[in-house]
Amino acid sequence: MKVEIKKISVMTVLFSVFPLAVFVVMLVGAFLELFNPESVLSVDYFMGLVMRAIQETILFLVSTVFFLLTYNVLTALGIRGVRVTLEDKE
């Protein structure tokens, strides 16, 4: 069965678990810097890591919203959406 994704709701993406998943990935990426031998562990350093994760999450979500709006405009203009072939396992 072929399915075509024609429109993606921006509000659905923003109010789903997607932002939380992105934040967790960015937080893990920021905390990997703890293994840097030149890092000095302090409260300011940890807050900097958390703020960096928040900044990267916001930047990623803004770029995702821009991509979704562009995708929705292009599909509204008549360009085909993403097609996925789904197969039933029996």
Give the integer Cα–Cα distance in Å for 23 and 9: 20
Percent of the chain with pLDDT over 90: 54
Length of the chain measured in residues: 90
26, with CB counted inside 10 A (0-12, 13-18, 19+), is: buried
Whole-model pTM over 0.85: no
Evaluate if residue 21 carries a pLDDT over 90. Answer: yes
The token duo for 78 is 């008549």
